[in-house]
Structures are given as structure tokens and as C-alpha cells.
Structure 1
Amino acid sequence: MAIINTAIKPFRAEAYKNGKFITVTEADLSGKWAVFFFYPADFTFVCPTELEDIADNYDEFVRLGVEIFGVSTDTHFSHKAWHDTSPAIGKIRYALLGDPTATLSRNFDVLRVDEGLADRATFLVDPDGVIQFTEVTAEGVGRNAQELLRKIRSAQYVRAHPGEVCPAKWEEGEITLTPSLDLVGKI
């Protein structure tokens, strides 16, 4: 996956958000942080637990200036039906993008071509439209919104503080590192 530090590719997707169908394009992301949260399919098992976890933490994502886009190869119509029938999915206030042509799944290189489904994958896109973070997990391994929030805070800190980096398990307010010749071999 040589996708880190590359710009997202143009796209146009129909989505379901807050009781409405909307169209989302890469232009809508300009100047904003965004998370693309790919999952295999609506009406499944691990997927609703992850999407609900994001929904339960959505206010914190918004506080950080991050918009969430849930993406599967289902249609926006399927997303609405799932939203209307599942208590977990009914909590969602972020956009669920339909990707029936697999344009987004191909753009982010997460399409399982032989199945027509997206991998379980997460991408953080910075305000310049550049991918800063990606995570892909196996089908049965769910993701964690709190860990995603920690990584977003780290990426935002590094962007705001050029020359500094965040060590493992870094939390907001903790000490960062400033790479230099003097630091080599001292960690």
C-alpha cells in the first residue's frame, strides 16, 4: 500500500446522511480533515459494531474538525434501509457513502475484486486531501474509535508542529520528540 502521502483521487458518490440522500465529491473535503471508514457490507456482523462505535464518538470527531464517511460497495438505498432497521446504525449522523461501482474502493486500493466488497480499512485524509494514515484489518477484526481518535490527534499535532513527532501511545498533552542527530541512539 504505497498510498500514504498521496492525494485522494477524484470521486462522486451518493450517500445517506441524516434522513437525506446527498452527493459527496473530493471537492467537499477541501480544507477539512476526513476519515474514510471502509467496511465489507451492510446487514452484517462486525460492521455495525464498528459503525456504532464511531457514532457513539462522533461528537469528538466533530470537535477535532474531522468528518466521517462510512463506505461500502452497497448503495445509498441499502444504507437508508439499514439505518431504518438497525438500532446500532440508526445512531449514525455521519454520511454513509454508496460505492456500487467500486470507484472509491479502487481509488483507495481496498477492493476485493473477486467478491465485489471493500476490505475493512480506515484512511485519514488531511485538509490538503493527502492520506496521512491507513489501517487495514482482517474480516473478523473490528476497529476501535478511541484508537482512531488518538491517531487523529497525533496527525493533527504533527501537522501543527513541524519538526516534532509523536512516539508510541502518545496522548494529547504528552511529550513529543524532535528528531535530531543528538537524539540518535538515546531512545
Structure 2
Amino acid sequence: MSVINTEIKPFRATAYQNGEFIEVTDADLKGKWSVVVFYPADFTFVCPTELEDLALNQEEFDKLGVQVFSVSTDTHFSHKAWHDTSDAIGKIKYAMIGDPTGTITNNFEVMRPGVGLADRGTFIIDPQGVIQAVEITAEGIGRDALELLRKVKAAQYVAAHPGEVCPAKWKEGEKTLKPSLDLVGKI
């Protein structure tokens, strides 16, 4: 079953952010655009490259009014230790949510059965808490923050312009489409 166009489910968890442990709930993902990035585990190989890429593009997400959250089934203590010992992870300013119970990972349907680790999943969530985009990749395939930014801009554009859609490879400022009977068979 797809989670697209479904509201995020309730959760409460502890995260590490900016030298502190903080509580994060589903309510924190509402009221503005959010990106939630699940990854398999701390102290691994592809994960730090992805999380660093997000950190290096944090300013662009901030300009779009998008809050970023990373989630793994590690604890918030592990996130702090990783943040304190890795140059790549030390650049992160967004909340790193610990999900040792797997509640959030299961809510977003990215838990690997029998393994206890999250798949590499990315979710774009609108201000109403509704999931607008999902990307799930295999263990060895890293994600790209710039492509994620493009998708966020497309989601925000479509939300702000009812009746318009963004075609493949759409970039901010480019032409969109207005689906209608007149377009059928002409694209």
C-alpha cells in the first residue's frame, strides 16, 4: 500500500540537534514543509555522505521553509557520538531522530522485516502533514540533496498552483502544464 497522500501517523521520539537532546513528535512535522530522510545505521558508509550532502544544502532547504529530519533505528545517544566523531556528520544542524523502537520507521513503512533497520527512504511532507513524495532506494544507492530540493520545489509549486503540474525534469521558473482535454494526445 502506498503512503502517498496519507497523513503522517502519531509518534514521539528523542533527537540530537545542535548539542542537545530534544523531543520530536508528529506535530513538529506539521505547519511547514518537512523532509524526513530514513537511513539504515550510524557509523556506516553511504549514510554519512547523504547526511552531509543534506547538511551542506541546509541553507537552501531553509530558504524554502523546509525543515529536515533524519531518522534511523539507532538511539539519540548514538547520533550524538557519531556527530561528535565524524567530520561529515559534525556539519549537521538538523534534528537526527533516534527510533530504537521502530515506531516511526514502521509508520512510514520503511522497516526491513526481520532486520531492525530502515530502508533508505525519503519523504516530502506538506504543512498539513500529508506525504507528497516518496523515494526508496536500495542499500548501496546514495541520494542527492539537489534532486531532493528540485522535488520539494515542484511539490510546493503544485500545492500553490492548483490545476498545474510539473513535467519531467521541471526546474523552478520553467513551464508547467495545465491538464485538460485539449492536451490529450498532444504531449
Q: Secondary structure at the match of 2:4?
A: coil
TM alignment of 1:81-160, pairs within 5 A: 81-160=81-160
Unaligned runs of 5+ in 1: none
Unaligned runs of 5+ in 2: none
Determine the structure 2 residue equivalent to 1:4.
4
Q: Matched residues in 2 for 1:50 and 1:27: separation?
A: 25
Q: Matched residues in 2 for 1:69 and 1:88: separation?
A: 16
> What is the CA deviation profile of residues 80-139 of structure 1, one whole-angstrom value per residue up to 9, with x for unaligned ones?
000000000000000000000000000000001211000000001000000000000000
TM-aligned CA deviation for residue 27 of structure 1: 1.2
Q: Matched residues in 2 for 1:145 and 1:52: separation?
A: 9
TM-score, scaled to structure 1: 0.99
- Runs of 4+ deviating beyond 2 Å: none
The alignment's C-alpha RMSD in Å is 0.5
Q: Secondary structure at the match of 1:77?
A: helix
TM-aligned CA deviation for residue 30 of structure 1: 2.2
**Is 91-100 or 24-33 further displaced after alignment?**
24-33
> What residue identity is the alignment partner of 1:158?
V
Q: Secondary structure at the match of 2:173?
A: coil
Q: Matched residues in 1 for 2:13 and 2:125: separation?
A: 17
> What residue identity is the alignment partner of 1:175?
K
TM-aligned CA deviation for residue 29 of structure 1: 2.1
TM-score, scaled to structure 2: 0.99
Q: Say how many residue pairs are matched.
A: 187
> What is the CA deviation profile of residues 18-43 of structure 1, one whole-angstrom value per residue up to 9, with x for unaligned ones?
00000000111221111110000000
> What residue identity is the alignment partner of 1:78?
S
Q: Secondary structure at the match of 1:117?
A: coil
How high is the sequence identity, in percent, across the aligned residues?
A: 73
Q: Secondary structure at the match of 1:111?
A: coil
